[in-house]
Structure 1
Amino acid sequence: MISKIQLGLILPWFWIQIYSYEILLDHNKNDGTWMVRNENGTYKVAATVPGGIYTDLSVAGILTQDIYYRFNDIEYRWVSKENWTYSRTFEVSEDFLEKQQIFLVFYGIDTIASVYLNDQHIGDCENMFVRYSYNVKSIIHTGTNNIKVKILSPINEAKKRFEKQATNYIVPACVPDEYHGECHVNFLRKMQASFAWDWGPAFPSVGIWKSVVLEAFDIAVLREVMLQTVESNNKWSLYLNVFVETGNQTSNISGNFSASLTTYTNLVTVTKYETLSPYAPGFFNTILLLEIPKSQIQLWWPNGYGDQKLYPLEVVFSNEHNSKSTKTLKVGFRSIQLVQEPVAIGTGLTFYFKVNNVPIFAKGSNWIPSHVLPEKSAEPKRIEYLLESARIANMNMLRVWGGGLYESDLFYQLADEKGLLIWQDFMFACSMYPTDDNFLQSVSTEVTQQVRRLQHHPSIAIWAGNNENEAALRDNWYGTSNDFNRYKQDYITLYVDTIRNITLAQDNVRPFAVSSPSNGIESEEEGYVANNPSSTFYGDIHYYNYISNGWDPDTFKVTRFSSEYGYQSMPSFLSLTEVSIPSDLRLYSEFTRNRQHHPYGYPEIIAEIDYNLQYSHNLNDTEQYPIFIYFSQINQAMSYKTETEFYRRSRNLLTSDGQGLTMGALYWQLNDIWQAPSWASIEFNGKWKILHYFAKDFFAPILVSPYKRADGVLRVDLISDILTDMQCVLNIFVYKWNSLNPIYNISSNHTLNNASVTNAFNHDMKEFLQIAGCGANETTSKCFLYFTLTSLDGEEISPHNFLFPQPLKKLMNFTAPDITVASVSLAPNSQNVFEIELKTDKIALFVWLEAYNIPGHFSSNGFLMVKPNISITFVTKYNVDINKLHEAITIFSLGDYYKE
């Protein structure tokens, strides 16, 4: 048997090793409590493991305010400049010591640390993404033992490592001054965003951020299981690569290896007795094969394409001495390919994913850490909420960005369950990196462990070596052009010779991209640093344009795959009040300036608003600040809508020179890390911005998508991700701004082609509006268009859509509507779902509802009202009185702030 003492909080039951019995020893049990103190002893407080220093100091009352309150990202920086020691005592029994091997295992220390057991130095840590295991059989004893983890200041250690470089060759990296951050995080294998980013603060935490375990066993402990599914005519072959660890043992080990997969109709098992030789001292592996009839397996599909079938798998190592170690996983059966083939016309290669031989248009967003403190990034409720919000918004892919974290096991488990494909960056972003032997060795261990930990998840679609570093090197972001060849060689050494080679050796069933953006195969053929890593003819691009009009589709590039794009907006007024005082809440206050980390951020937001909206309010007036927030969210939502629909319409487009065939739109970014201006669609407190409500529509499986071409033609395309053709009816309505009755409408029948884009309507815009009755002059300012798509029997199959022929600041005869809540009622058979009926007397644009102090989200928000009545739902997890909800709802729309 294997015994285990847990020296931190209990790990989740899923996806981890299950031992025959265990002694739990969390932060306040078994006669021991974790404590943390700084180097000179000024502070000594109780600590939590897993945890971190900012959390510990906050719980102890040393940090008296929320870390995000006002300027605490600066005021509390002293914490990161101290060295901190975590310590505790724990009890060990005699029977525990009878085991032949005893390991002290740290699943995550942040970051540069030395570990002591019973005052003996047992090892050092320098990578927060690495599991460290120490054989402590000769050091541990019966009764009371003590452990110390001395962690160095990450700010000071990063600076020291930077200064140790050769003076004739500098690896640069300091964040811009606007970030209010720290320098040289690229010298540490730590969450890169912890030293600040353009959407987040600097909180360079330290701590034991994952569990600590004391393991005792006789022969070996089962560490990891990787798998490969191979499909044939009548069966699935499931190959399992099983890894076990024994300590520093160099002799062979023998034992039984078994695996069992539970299908819906059967239990498929395999067992073999084997004698293994170590592939490195103390490390062994073997291959098991399970063969499962196809009739017993249902495929795993991304969200929107089918179900997410997962099957329990148990793998066991045991021997004649009754030593047993077990690991449980959940397995999904699916195939995945990244297709990069020559296009039929012109230049370039395709770039799209096939799952189960079906081309998938990747719809989704980019994931940043859910919290700036690593230990809080694994909070189950927050992760569940964010991933469910992504699923509701019809997403099927998230890109886990390379400046953050390899996320918790729960994150990937939920991604599996919700059908969210994961574009998994390794944690390198927007920097050059050192390539000395120690750094490369640490990275090698990191990559090996993380690939083995994550590889079995069906949601993992692709590995990517870094974020934007190929583009940064080629375009001289960091002043490296004076010695380009040397920096390029370092780039190849790190991302190709090390990360890529190790990843493909561990997992050869998934694609690997050296960078993002990148030209994919073309970048490799050009020596891994392409002349133009953001070519629209190859691979993926990151596209940001804060100068041109984001509501104009001609602003955007025709590309194969857009893996980043976006515009900033403000978080809600309510979110900002959580971390400020009233005088902070104006655009040019010190607080508001401190929260904007993106250079030129506010001027860009204002300029984008001015393209389309009539904004004549005092930008520094506290009472008018909420108006600016609202306008910024409208602009963000409309810009993302325009860009995303542009990418989706380009799915079938192939220009004469070879551009088009777009198959991915992953906007930047899904979640926020604090209350500040950002590109996020979901605020830090979970509140959906207008953008996220819009995403639910612009990512819908079927979408009617109108736009005005540069030549003035109104074009309407029908977009479908559905895998079968269907018959449909397109309805086009023309409204004047002063009436809820359309002045004109036409309908036409169409075949909605499967997994394709179908053109359904083309007509000169001005001529069409004149025909509709908008008048001969200034027709585009008097009217707008509204679109629905139904089945032949009248069932709506697409979200409604709309098109403004002119910027909204040029409207004629537009006045503020009177919108009221007609009724609020509890939905049938529900406790926390409410039906809300709204009434309006006029056309209403961007109707925004707030349910102040009642967390939840509406089924729709930021919408247009073109009928007198509309019904929506409000979903909350709390028991809410109907009358209080009714009273809490406030409504405003663009008309409230419009002056003709």
Structure 2
Amino acid sequence: MITQDLPDGWTLTAVAGPVPAELVGVRVRARVPGTSHTALLDEGLIPDPYLDRNEDVLAWMRRTDWAYERQLDLDPAADDERVDLVFDGIDTVATLTLDGHELGRTANQHRSYRFDVRGLLRPDTQRLRVLLHSAIVHAESEAERLGARPLAYPQPFNMVRKMACSFGWDWGPDLQTAGLWKPVRVERWRTARLAQVRPLVTVDADGTGRVRVHADLERSGLPGGDLPVTVRARVLGADVTVVVPRDRTEAVVELEVPHAPLWWPVGHGSQPLPELTVTLGTASADEPLDTWTRRIGFRTVEVDTAPDDDGTPFTFRVNGRPIFVKGANWIPDDHLLTRITRERLTRRFDQAVEANLNLLRVWGGGIYESDDFYELADERGLLVWQDFLLACAAYPEEQPIWDELEAEARENVARLTPHPSLVLWNGGNENLWGFMDWGWQEDLQGRTWGLRIATELLKGVVAELDPTRPYADGSPYSPGFALDEVHPNHPDHGTHHEWEVWNRVDYTVYRDDVPRFCSEFGFQGPPTWTTLTRAVRTDDGGPLTKDDPTFLLHQKADDGNGKLDRGLAPHLGVPDDFADWHWATQLNQARAVAFAIEHYRSWWPRTAGAIVWQLNDCWPVTSWAAVDGDERPKPLWHALRRAYAPRLLTVQPRDDRDMLAVVNDTAGIWQGVVHLSRRRLDGTTLAEVELALAVGAWSVGLFGLPSEVATPDDPTGEVLVARLGDVQTVHTWVEDVDLALDPSPLTATVTPVQDGYRVDVTARSLARSVTLHVDRFDPDAVVDTALVDVPGGETASFHVRTTVRADPEALTRPPVLRTANDVVVPRAPQTAAGAARDLESSR
């Protein structure tokens, strides 16, 4: 096979729609992969859509048609040669022509397209044209034709197979890109090619690895195309060749690997990735006709949903071992998808692993991610839960959507079979829940809404093409029950989404349920200060406020700021100053999520996983993300790192008393003597106890707090410190608004080190959530830890990596060095007896 990539030589023209006068008829250079947005940005013809209110400025692009064009100089095909034009991804609704001859029409961003052009080639220069029609105009037309279906947002994204969040979401912009978003190439080939290769990998009980390689062939249909061919597969010394008769277009090659090296999730073992090579050939030719190479991993995966005394579990087992999922939901890492590089994904995956995550859930309103994404997950041992791309909407089961869904599912299920990181196919996001609770049934009036897509179509594709992996009908989902038997979001059955917290109730309500698996929960917070002030500026250049129209354009959640304030009030109060409010909301986000994770982890194995919403952002925005749109970690990222740590101490209520939960997510026994100390905020010890304990591997131990340290004399002025080895937790009995916190509890010193500075802080009194906002010192600086509770009389150290050498003392004072103490808005003072009564009533 001869391949010719076509990245250059393209032009882009706006050909219809509300095009600004200055762009009418303008033809600009364009690269592929690319979109109308990236091409115009490269030429300086539009402003950055991520800055200020430019999202609104560029609204005209949503209803514009575009033409990508280039010249083709291709030699005519030989008598036995196929020549194909291959488009790996078209965004989205397009008509393709070669010298005016229509090659085909497309309406699906999530699949590839191949066109046989051998009969159209001429010896002179030809013109390839891709006319991209407005996706929203197409979707509106389909909604009119099929009948509208209910959905969570105003625009009918459920009527076109395009990235749903391209039309905007409660964390993302409404840009509605159009373009050739994946590579385009010419392929010249003879006899046959490997159309699809699916390695199904299993491991026997005795450790023998098996690879069943399914190879689907396309024959040329030309002279020589009916020859017998061979398919050869090789991995780890296993080498098998089969002959495919002239009348067949598929082959299965069975490989057996004794004592196969097992692939494990991060934290559970190593990630060996042997190379599997599949070649297609003929008996008469030395050179192969086609070659396919991927790395694979030997492992087994299942999800345990066998009913038990507590309901229906949802527990991942990898190589037979139950795994507590420490996860985060993933959205496309840049709304302009063609800017996502392997290097950018590498940085994000490294942040995920450093935050002690072991799973990413690819959410159903985004895309099937690139090969780079799954390869990086394989290398790092990050499990991947893959949604099919259906989210928060009722989807028609009529044509052409049914066939398009089947085509994209077949292509992507087959494409992703090599990846050991992929452990679940999921039928969609919140669609089952939406049907039950969001008023859809009345709106639908009996029209189709996607139930058969989830329970028949997608389930059937996975069963046929990839039976080695489990499938779930949706998330949330109660396995084994019809929708009218058990609610799909019932916490006792299967997967659960917890959105009462954030939307309606305080985050302490997380403890009211013990879900079997929480696949969505989260809390909002703004991006880092540097990211915010770079991208979100007032029209007059004045100070930013949370009510400024530009800030609100980058706050997409319904009543987002109101929910932030209501979430702050019981814990930190609501500061008036914007910089204080920014820090307080970031802190509250981190605490809310950590509160949930510690609760969920303390209930293992009843609760078998937590997937926070969300790891990443696609642009600068106030959102639920731990890493903002400029790739900077928010305080939440540090909270995840601590809450998901392999070993965790946390104080949790059980049966009206406080217990010390000792969470051991490691292969060894965790044993030792935990030191428990009840102290005044200034560090004076009031009572201390030592408790010998041991907790088995992959287990949680619960230990009652001894009476000496279990109950404070003055809840507003005392703290409990528990330390086991190098793991510590600091527990207070009341919220910070009720603690007698010193507003300025620290002294700090800074010392130069080879790659930056060490900042040492000493607390005169309890210092809560000590954090260095190093981006306010150097936008590129990185700090090793944050949100550190420093008991009175103790010292904590922070390592800041930076090349900036100006004014290092800035690291020792606001706005860089902050604590909860300096931002809390205290409630009216109350007596110790009153605080004790409040403590008792809260239990």
Report the 3-state secondary structure (helix = DSSP H, G, I; strand = E; otherwise coil) of the residue aligned with 1:384. helix
Report the 3-state secondary structure (helix = DSSP H, G, I; strand = E; otherwise coil) of the residue aligned with 1:200. coil
- 1:547 to partner: Cα distance: 6.4
What letter matches 1:700 in structure 2? A
Report the 3-state secondary structure (helix = DSSP H, G, I; strand = E; otherwise coil) of the residue aligned with 1:683. coil
**Match of residue 769 from structure 2:** 846
CA–CA distance in structure 1, aligned partners of residues 426 and 222 of structure 2 = 35
Range that drifts further, 719-728 or 555-564: 719-728
- 1:813 to partner: Cα distance: 5.6
CA–CA distance in structure 1, aligned partners of residues 134 and 809 of structure 2 = 51
2:718 to 761, 766, 783: 783
Report the 3-state secondary structure (helix = DSSP H, G, I; strand = E; otherwise coil) of the residue aligned with 1:519. coil
What letter matches 2:149 in structure 1? V
2:646 to 698, 701, 706: 701
User: Gaps (5+ residues) in structure 2?
Assistant: 18-23, 827-843
Matches within 5 A, 1:40-55: 41-55=24-38
- 1:234 to partner: Cα distance: 5.4
User: Gaps (5+ residues) in structure 1?
Assistant: 9-26, 177-182, 279-283, 619-623, 653-660, 791-795, 827-831
- 1:221 to partner: Cα distance: 2.0
C-alpha distance 86-481 of structure 1, shift in aligned 2 (>3 A)? same
2:353 to 383, 387, 391: 391
What letter matches 1:820 in structure 2? A
- 1:79 to partner: Cα distance: 1.1
**Match of residue 236 from structure 1:** 209
What letter matches 1:228 in structure 2? L
1:192 to 145, 164, 175: 164
What letter matches 1:90 in structure 2? L
Matches within 5 A, 1:307-706: 307-319=270-282, 320-321=284-285, 322-343=287-308, 345=309, 348-376=311-339, 378-475=340-437, 477-481=438-442, 486-487=446-447, 490-522=449-481, 526=482, 531-544=486-499, 545-546=501-502, 550=506, 552=508, 555-581=511-537, 582-583=541-542, 585-615=544-574, 617-618=575-576, 624-652=577-605, 661-706=606-651
C-alpha distance 243-648 of structure 1, shift in aligned 2 (>3 A)? same
C-alpha distance 101-532 of structure 1, shift in aligned 2 (>3 A)? same
C-alpha distance 443-898 of structure 1, shift in aligned 2 (>3 A)? closer
Q: Is the 8 A contact 2:673 2:690 kept in 1?
A: yes
The alignment status of 1:151 with 2:132, answered yes or no, reads yes
Report the 3-state secondary structure (helix = DSSP H, G, I; strand = E; otherwise coil) of the residue aligned with 2:822. helix
**Match of residue 699 from structure 2:** 756
Matches within 5 A, 1:6-405: 6-8=5-7, 27=8, 32-39=9-16, 41-63=24-46, 65-93=47-75, 97=78, 100-166=81-147, 170-173=148-151, 175=153, 183-232=155-204, 233=206, 235-246=208-219, 252-261=226-235, 263=236, 267-275=237-245, 277=247, 284-294=249-259, 297-319=260-282, 320-321=284-285, 322-343=287-308, 345=309, 348-376=311-339, 378-405=340-367
- 1:580 to partner: Cα distance: 2.6
What letter matches 1:355 in structure 2? V
**Match of residue 21 from structure 2:** none
Report the 3-state secondary structure (helix = DSSP H, G, I; strand = E; otherwise coil) of the residue aligned with 2:526. coil
C-alpha distance 116-808 of structure 1, shift in aligned 2 (>3 A)? same
Q: Is the 8 A contact 2:306 2:313 kept in 1?
A: yes
The alignment status of 1:768 with 2:724, answered yes or no, reads no
C-alpha distance 549-533 of structure 1, shift in aligned 2 (>3 A)? closer
CA–CA distance in structure 1, aligned partners of residues 195 and 331 of structure 2 = 28
- 1:541 to partner: Cα distance: 0.4
Cα deviation digits, residues 477-530 of structure 1 (max 9, x gap): 25323656x34x5423322222211221111111111111000222xxx2x665
What letter matches 1:705 in structure 2? T
- 1:784 to partner: Cα distance: 1.3
Q: Is the 8 A contact 2:10 2:32 kept in 1?
A: no
* TM-score when normalising by structure 1: 0.86
Q: Is the 8 A contact 1:101 1:246 kept in 2?
A: no
- 1:89 to partner: Cα distance: 0.9
CA–CA distance in structure 1, aligned partners of residues 511 and 202 of structure 2 = 44
Cα deviation digits, residues 695-738 of structure 1 (max 9, x gap): 11111111111134573x2211111122343422212222322x
- 1:853 to partner: Cα distance: 3.1
- 1:48 to partner: Cα distance: 1.1
Report the 3-state secondary structure (helix = DSSP H, G, I; strand = E; otherwise coil) of the residue aligned with 1:806. coil
CA–CA distance in structure 2, aligned partners of residues 637 and 234 of structure 1 = 43
The alignment status of 1:818 with 2:800, answered yes or no, reads no
Q: Is the 8 A contact 1:171 1:434 kept in 2?
A: yes
- 1:812 to partner: Cα distance: 2.2
CA–CA distance in structure 2, aligned partners of residues 529 and 99 of structure 1 = 59
Cα deviation digits, residues 316-349 of structure 1 (max 9, x gap): 1012244521111001100001111121x3x522
CA–CA distance in structure 1, aligned partners of residues 484 and 185 of structure 2 = 43
CA–CA distance in structure 1, aligned partners of residues 609 and 650 of structure 2 = 17
- 1:589 to partner: Cα distance: 1.3
Q: Is the 8 A contact 1:349 1:538 kept in 2?
A: yes
CA–CA distance in structure 1, aligned partners of residues 207 and 423 of structure 2 = 25
**Match of residue 20 from structure 1:** none
**Match of residue 840 from structure 2:** none
CA–CA distance in structure 2, aligned partners of residues 285 and 715 of structure 1 = 60
What letter matches 2:343 in structure 1? K
Percentage of pairs with the same residue: 26
What letter matches 1:638 in structure 2? R
Q: Is the 8 A contact 1:550 1:643 kept in 2?
A: no
Cα deviation digits, residues 143-162 of structure 1 (max 9, x gap): 42321100001121111111
- 1:647 to partner: Cα distance: 0.7
Count of residue correspondences: 806
CA–CA distance in structure 1, aligned partners of residues 665 and 414 of structure 2 = 33
**Match of residue 833 from structure 2:** none
Cα deviation digits, residues 154-183 of structure 1 (max 9, x gap): 1211111111235xxx3233615xxxxxx1
**Match of residue 14 from structure 1:** none
Q: Is the 8 A contact 1:549 1:611 kept in 2?
A: no
- 1:396 to partner: Cα distance: 0.8
Q: Is the 8 A contact 2:709 2:720 kept in 1?
A: no
- 1:825 to partner: Cα distance: 0.3
C-alpha distance 813-705 of structure 1, shift in aligned 2 (>3 A)? closer
1:893 to 819, 822, 835: 819
**Match of residue 786 from structure 2:** 861
What letter matches 1:865 in structure 2? V
Report the 3-state secondary structure (helix = DSSP H, G, I; strand = E; otherwise coil) of the residue aligned with 2:455. helix
Report the 3-state secondary structure (helix = DSSP H, G, I; strand = E; otherwise coil) of the residue aligned with 1:394. coil
CA–CA distance in structure 2, aligned partners of residues 130 and 434 of structure 1 = 19
Q: Is the 8 A contact 2:646 2:664 kept in 1?
A: yes
C-alpha distance 316-81 of structure 1, shift in aligned 2 (>3 A)? same
- 1:275 to partner: Cα distance: 1.3
